[in-house]
């Protein structure tokens, strides 16, 4: 079975048919919560990440086999990623064997190597996920079965976001906060960060895991100072403390915070940074995003590498897509799944899911369906409606 065509396009509309119908109880934390970031020292852009991040839409990638069967992948950063797929990788892969995911992934790595980097990895991811969806449909199997699962009956999920009371009500027993302040906010910011974590620990009690996401906002010194202040609140882990390229910084953080569990890697692309972090034992938990770091093929390689060095893999926002759910059900060293909650308290998760076939956590657990491929629940007509005249 050969590939007939590979086409990428912008996803501008909701794949599940519109905004939620249930009224919100209050606006979501994402509406106005300040989150520390690498832009926090620039006053114009400090308050909200949306003020400086690109407004590029998401990317859909449709791979069609010569018999008309198809698979669908998704990623981010629309125009440049679409250009890489439609202007480079897609035409070169047409006519190649559609089931040969290792071969095709290796070819894509080679083809993008002269310009490489993050954006090419988003394009590789979208194509790879579409190929696995197609492979599952051709074989009549869910992807988790194709990769050797299930390893577990369900995925234990943790909720990411700052509407902690809502997550407790929904039955989550682990939750991660976005850290509001960083080095630019000085001593007052340190105190306010401590106050937030203290309040949330008091709210969740002793039996719920509490984590802190620092979204690349800190340096080593600030990370150490904040971590020392937060010791009484028993964080399960601190995440993404430093700029992604700063592996030497991670080594230093490890030495200065020997008792703290460190997580990171959601902004790493291709395999080498994960290999360095594994071999150097720089992190306890690596968090590739299946739509960014090289698709399912890339994340399976990362997981096996991590397992050899005693690391866990907990995908970035892994429960927010059917792609991540299939990985998380099947991979041995994947103990939990992240469910990022940007929707408002009161709105049922079914009303904000990514695709109609996607399952959402109930009482902090989820299991993808047994539908072939990733069980996206989309028809070709749904996808063609996204890209008229494709």
Count residues contacting Mg ion (CB under 5 A)?
2
The least distance separating Mg ion from the CB of residue 316, rounded to whole angstroms, comes to: 6
Q: Which residue is nearest to Mg ion (CB)?
A: 213
The least distance separating Mg ion from the CB of residue 187, rounded to whole angstroms, comes to: 25
* Residue 289 found at the interface with Mg ion (CB under 5 A): no
Cβ closest to Mg ion, residue 135 vs residue 176 = 176
Cβ closest to Mg ion, residue 28 vs residue 212 = 212
The least distance separating Mg ion from the CB of residue 342, rounded to whole angstroms, comes to: 13
Contact 365, 172 (CB under 8 A): no
The least distance separating Mg ion from the CB of residue 292, rounded to whole angstroms, comes to: 12
Q: Please, which of residues 215-254 interact with Mg ion by CB under 5 A? A: 240
Half-sphere exposure of 52 (CA within 13 A, CB side): 14
Which phi-psi region, left, alpha or beta, contains residue 247 (left: φ > 0; alpha: ψ -120 to 50)?
alpha
The least distance separating Mg ion from the CB of residue 264, rounded to whole angstroms, comes to: 8
- According to DSSP, the residues that pair with 6 across neighbouring strands are 63
Q: Which two tokens stand for residue 274?
A: 């994960």
Alpha-carbon distances, residue 317 vs 159, 279, 288, 343 (angstroms): 9, 25, 9, 14
Distance CA 390, CA 311 (A): 43
Q: Please, what's the largest Cα pairwise distance for the chain?
A: 63
Active site residues: 316
In residues, how long is the chain?
390
The least distance separating Mg ion from the CB of residue 146, rounded to whole angstroms, comes to: 28
Q: Which two tokens stand for residue 32?
A: 């106005």
Q: Which two tokens stand for residue 22?
A: 């249930």
| Terminal-residue alpha carbon distance, the chain | 23
Cβ closest to Mg ion, residue 133 vs residue 213 = 213
Alpha-carbon distances, residue 267 vs 132, 161, 239, 272 (angstroms): 23, 19, 12, 13
Q: Which of 34, 128, 213, 289 binds Mg ion (CB under 5 A)?
A: 213
Cβ closest to Mg ion, residue 163 vs residue 240 = 240
Phi/psi at 195 (nearest 5 deg)? -60, -40
Cβ closest to Mg ion, residue 128 vs residue 213 = 213
For Mg ion, which stretch binds (CB under 5 A), given 54-62, 78-86, 161-169, 207-215?
A: 207-215
Cβ closest to Mg ion, residue 9 vs residue 292 = 292
Q: CB-based contacts of 335: which residues, under 8 Å, 6+ apart?
A: 156, 312, 314
Residues at the interface with Mg ion (CB under 5 A): 213, 240
């Amino acid at each position: 079975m050969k590939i007939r065509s590979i086409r990428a396009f912008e996803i501008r509309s909701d794949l599940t048919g519109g905004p939620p119908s249930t009224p919100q109880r209050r606006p979501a934390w994402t509406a106005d919560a300040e989150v520390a970031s690498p832009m926090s020292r620039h006053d114009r852009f400090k308050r909200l990440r949306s003020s400086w991040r690109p407004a590029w839409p998401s990317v859909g990638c449709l791979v069609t086999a010569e018999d008309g069967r198809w698979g669908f992948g998704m990623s981010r950063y629309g125009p440049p990623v679409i250009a890489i797929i439609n202007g480079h990788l897609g035409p070169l892969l047409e006519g190649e064997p559609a089931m040969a995911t290792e071969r095709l992934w290796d070819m894509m790595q080679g083809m993008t190597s002269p310009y490489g980097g993050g954006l090419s990895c988003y394009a590789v991811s979208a194509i790879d996920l579409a190929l696995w969806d197609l492979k599952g449909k051709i074989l009549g199997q869910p992807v988790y079965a194709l990769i050797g699962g299930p390893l577990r009956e369900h995925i234990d999920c943790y909720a990411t976001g700052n509407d902690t009371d809502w997550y407790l009500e929904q039955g989550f027993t682990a939750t991660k906060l976005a850290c509001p302040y960083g080095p630019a906010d000085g001593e007052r910011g340190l105190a306010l960060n401590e106050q937030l974590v203290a309040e949330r620990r008091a709210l969740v009690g002793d039996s719920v895991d509490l984590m802190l996401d620092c979204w690349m906002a800190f340096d080593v010194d600030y990370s150490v100072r904040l971590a020392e202040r937060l010791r009484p609140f028993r964080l399960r882990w601190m995440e993404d403390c430093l700029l992604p390229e700063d592996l030497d910084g991670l080594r230093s953080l490890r030495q200065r915070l020997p008792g703290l569990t460190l997580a990171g890697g959601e902004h790493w692309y291709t395999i080498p940074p994960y290999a360095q972090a594994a071999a150097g034992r720089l992190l306890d938990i690596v968090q590739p995003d299946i739509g960014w770091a090289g698709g399912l093929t890339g994340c399976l390689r990362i997981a096996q590498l991590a397992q050899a060095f005693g690391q866990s893999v907990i995908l970035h926002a892994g429960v927010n897509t059917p792609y991540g759910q299939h990985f998380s059900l099947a991979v041995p060293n994947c103990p939990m799944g992240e469910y990022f909650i940007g929707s408002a308290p009161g709105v049922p998760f079914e009303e904000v899911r990514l695709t109609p076939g996607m399952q959402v956590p109930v009482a902090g657990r989820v299991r993808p369906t047994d539908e072939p491929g990733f069980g996206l629940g989309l028809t070709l007509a749904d996808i063609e409606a996204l890209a008229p005249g494709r």
